[in-house]
Structure 1
């Protein structure tokens, strides 16, 4: 079996890694590495358990945090010792590390952007190459080209908006709720810097207003992290609808979607890395066992539907 994986984030690299370990031919298309991504970078304990073993000469680039300050947004705060540590990573470092694991297992990384796919396994790159695969995996994020061409974009009602920046310095881990936005603000201490962010349902408030809210609250409570020189980012986080069919539609005869491309993120917290890793593993297992992605949506619904819907 020859599989094309479009996108080398956690979902794509996990799919590629597990397939390559089983002896499949895997080609991963991603022209963006190395790059940072607009993401908090949090890995819950269940996400950490899904990561492959780290070789001695390439340790996992994750900072483990055992304590978090929760802020109600109206003045009440509590510090909690976590039962299991949370990992926090730069996406540049984590995604690069996962891609290296996939390549070490035998996957081929092609640094080209995919501009077209069809339901018959055909792929065209920005450089003009046209190739045919047994299965095409869309792992190209919330704005997935593969999803747009083979299914449809995630509807706006199922999107959250996140905004923020990466600040120099260090911080405790903080989650501050914003009930009026139906969202929250965060400070996530990564290796070497701090992820500062805010998220809320798309359209709840304009993105500029949401970013200004974050800047104001950080400047007041954590002035060292205001970092006016840091570039600001904004991006969408997709999630499934309450209708189980929103998970059952993410595969066809010769294609499948994983991670954000499949709209797999927690609809309350926006957590996406766990579902990226889990969907990649489930799709790889389905392809190994069946040679087809047909049973993958049902398996994803069984494994994650209770948490996601």
Structure 2
């Protein structure tokens, strides 16, 4: 029987696995897709670095900025400086791979299978994948906003708790400041986050009904604010 199973090998699941293994509890991490790139700015805030000091020395290509430019819905710019530490921008593919490697190197076991079922069985859990079933004492769900584990033991998140985003990875903006532009008519914002080798340019909103308008807002912003951006992929 498996002592601990972690479903999801993103940052939360991988770091949890690393800390467990560091304390001689060697979990099994179930994930068939990580590490991967994903629609995410990849920004690591100063406060997170204080909580997890290893981030300050992580050997992964990234950007560092001591300021951030905020643009109000009316177009006013405000530059915010950080006295302690710097903001860091990462590729999620490279960042997630590093954390997963940390966990595996410490002794965690990676099971590259998709969890498709979870049942409670007389004081233990039965995890089911397309290949086989596993008996598990403790299950930790770290499988994201659409978590299957959450749906099985509680309920799905409501639409009010979700958002929508759209964006590009681009070249030509690696020396730009981290920029956040708040939208005038939608509860959301556009971001520019250099990540070392490229830049994430995206837009997100908690108002899912405005999803069709977000791409127009983002493309208009890019054309006027950073026309030099060379889009290399879309998400």
TM-score higher than 0.5: yes
2:205 aligns with one of 200, 204, 208: 200
Aligned-pair Cα RMSD in Å: 2.0
CA shift digits 1:221-275 (9 cap, x unpaired): 1112262x522x2xxxxxxxxxxxxxxxxxxxxxxxxxxxxxxxxxxxxxxxxxx
Q: How far apart, CA to CA, are the structure 2 residues paired with 1:49 and 1:131?
A: 37
Q: Which residue of 1 aligns with 2:225?
A: 221
Contact 1:118–1:150 (Cα < 8 Å) also in 2 = no
Q: How far apart, CA to CA, are the structure 2 residues paired with 1:116 and 1:202?
A: 31
Contact 1:218–1:226 (Cα < 8 Å) also in 2 = no
Q: Which residue of 2 aligns with 1:29?
A: 30
Q: How far apart, CA to CA, are the structure 2 residues paired with 1:133 and 1:144?
A: 18
Structure with more of its chain in helix, by fraction: 1
Tell me the secondary structure at the aligned position of residue 156 of structure 2: coil
Q: Which residue of 1 aligns with 2:170?
A: 167
Matches within 5 A, 1:249-268: none
Q: Aligned residue pairs: how many?
A: 228
Please report the TM-score for the alignment, with normalisation by the length of structure 2. 0.89
Q: Which residue of 2 aligns with 1:82?
A: 82
- Gap regions ≥5 residues in structure 2: none
- Gap regions ≥5 residues in structure 1: 234-309
Q: Name whichever of 37-46 and 78-87 sits farther off.
A: 78-87
Q: How far apart, CA to CA, are the structure 1 residues paired with 2:50 and 2:112?
A: 29
Contact 1:173–1:187 (Cα < 8 Å) also in 2 = yes
Q: Which residue of 2 aligns with 1:211?
A: 215
Q: How far is the alpha carbon of 1:61 from its aligned partner?
A: 4.0
The 1:32/1:106 distance shift into structure 2, 3 A limit, reads same
**Which portions of structure 1, spanning 4 or more consecutive aligned residues, are displaced by more than 6 angstroms?**
none
Q: How far apart, CA to CA, are the structure 2 residues paired with 1:19 and 1:81?
A: 36
CA shift digits 1:116-171 (9 cap, x unpaired): 11234211112x21111111111111111111222111000111222211112222
CA shift digits 1:19-57 (9 cap, x unpaired): 111111200011113310111111111212343637x9x
Matches within 5 A, 1:120-199: 120-126=124-130, 128-169=131-172, 170=174, 171-199=176-204
Q: How far apart, CA to CA, are the structure 2 residues paired with 1:114 and 1:20?
A: 21
Please report the TM-score for the alignment, with normalisation by the length of structure 1. 0.69
CA shift digits 1:1-34 (9 cap, x unpaired): 7110111001101111111111112000111133
Q: How far apart, CA to CA, are the structure 2 residues paired with 1:9 and 1:34?
A: 7
Q: How far apart, CA to CA, are the structure 1 residues paired with 2:184 and 2:209?
A: 11
Q: How far apart, CA to CA, are the structure 2 residues paired with 1:95 and 1:79?
A: 30
Q: How far apart, CA to CA, are the structure 1 residues paired with 2:108 and 2:31?
A: 13
Tell me the secondary structure at the aligned position of residue 216 of structure 2: helix
Q: How far is the alpha carbon of 1:73 from its aligned partner?
A: 2.7
